[in-house]
């Protein structure tokens, strides 16, 4: 069974760009349209991972091939921001996840107690800001899964995530991270032996998931941002006054591409080179080697 494990709808909240965060949403996709698009593109199962929200469930709970998930915004033990994919949750889980989102040890304890599958998302992207060495050590020590293919992230960032996951013996998950209908279902995770949502989730936990589909690139991101911008203008007609700014989107995405390329390679190099007199890097490699051999 195939499922796109990173999907957004109109319930993902407002964008994080200053000023625009008052009028522009992260995503304008209707939950029903998301479901129908994913089915057309060959997904046997459907989930939604909105940012800190499960509001889409009201429209989709009636489908037997739907299961609820969420992308939780939280802080790592070192204080950096992180997005965590949590899969196959209930409505009570959502309440507890949000209540604990600023207390990372408590959040982890709850996830482990409930045996929920959770992944570190886009680990080699600067999307959520800075990273520290301690963050990556925490990822390999406590997370059962790593998102190794994100449909909006550069192929290099995905390759480094895959290398980290395999070195540490982690389950691999992938999804489109689609904020527009166009990208949905073009990146996914398959569990060949599964016939139900429950079997699919158990297969992911066993590490039986195989990721497939696209990574991100310059043109994909440019189209997505332009689409979100035009959707904002349809929702708030007065923002048509901002339409000349759409001409700057290719320049903005080029700048983002350069920043993301630097971020991915800088951390990929740090974590994969032979360490020298750096205890935290040695710990990272020891953790990965012991997990991979178990």
Look at the alpha carbons of 111, 93, 68, 192 in this order and tell me if their dihedral is positive or negative. Answer: positive
Can you tell me the distance from the alpha carbon of 68 to that of 66, in angstroms, rounded to the nearest whole number? 7
When pLDDT is averaged across residues 269-290 and rounded to a whole number, the result is: 52
Residue 174, strand partner residues: 149
Can you tell me the distance from the alpha carbon of 135 to that of 138, in angstroms, rounded to the nearest whole number? 5
Can you tell me the distance from the alpha carbon of 168 to that of 174, in angstroms, rounded to the nearest whole number? 17
Q: Phi and psi (nearest 5°) for 246?
A: -60, -25
The single residue listed with the structure tokens 């429950």 is 198
The 10s digit of each residue's pLDDT in 228-267 is: 999 999 999 999 998 998 999 999 999 999 999 999 999 9
Cα 2 → chain centroid: 17
Cβ-based neighbour number of residue 280 at 10 Å: 12
pTM score, whole prediction: 0.91
Closest CA to 117 of 153, 146, 141: 146
pLDDT band of residue 158 (cuts 50, 70, 90) is: very high
When pLDDT is averaged across residues 73-100 and rounded to a whole number, the result is: 97
Give the chain's domains with CATH numbers.
Answer: 2-293 (3.20.20.140)
H helix count then E strand count, the chain: 10, 9
């Amino acid at each position: 069974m195939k499922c796109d494990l990173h999907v957004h709808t109109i319930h993902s909240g407002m964008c994080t760009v200053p000023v625009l965060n008052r009028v522009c949403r992260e995503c304008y996709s209707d939950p029903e349209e998301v479901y129908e698009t994913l089915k057309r593109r060959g997904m046997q199962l459907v989930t939604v991972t909105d940012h800190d929200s499960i509001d889409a469930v009201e429209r989709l709970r009636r489908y037997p091939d739907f299961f609820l998930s969420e992308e939780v915004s939280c802080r790592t033990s070192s204080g950096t921001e992180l997005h965590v994919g949590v899969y196959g949750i209930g409505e009570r889980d959502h309440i507890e996840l949000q209540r604990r989102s600023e207390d990372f040890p408590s959040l982890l304890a709850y996830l482990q107690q409930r045996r929920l599958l959770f992944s570190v998302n886009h680990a080699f992207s600067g999307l959520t800001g800075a990273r520290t060495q301690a963050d990556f050590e925490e990822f390999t020590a406590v997370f059962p899964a790593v998102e190794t293919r994100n449909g909006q992230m550069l192929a290099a960032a995905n390759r480094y995530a895959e290398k980290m996951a395999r070195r540490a013996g982690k389950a691999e998950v992938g999804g489109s991270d689609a904020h527009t209908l166009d990208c949905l279902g073009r990146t996914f995770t398959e569990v060949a032996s599964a016939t139900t949502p429950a079997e699919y989730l158990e297969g992911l936990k066993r590490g039986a998931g195989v990721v497939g589909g696209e990574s991100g690139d310059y043109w994909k991101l440019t189209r997505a941002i332009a689409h979100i911008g035009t959707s904002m203008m349809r929702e708030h007609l007065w923002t048509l006054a901002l339409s000349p700014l759409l001409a700057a989107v290719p320049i903005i995405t080029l700048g983002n591409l350069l920043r993301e390329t630097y971020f991915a390679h800088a951390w990929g190099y740090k974590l994969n080179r032979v360490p020298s007199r750096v205890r935290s890097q040695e710990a990272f490699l020891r953790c990965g080697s012991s997990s991979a051999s178990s």
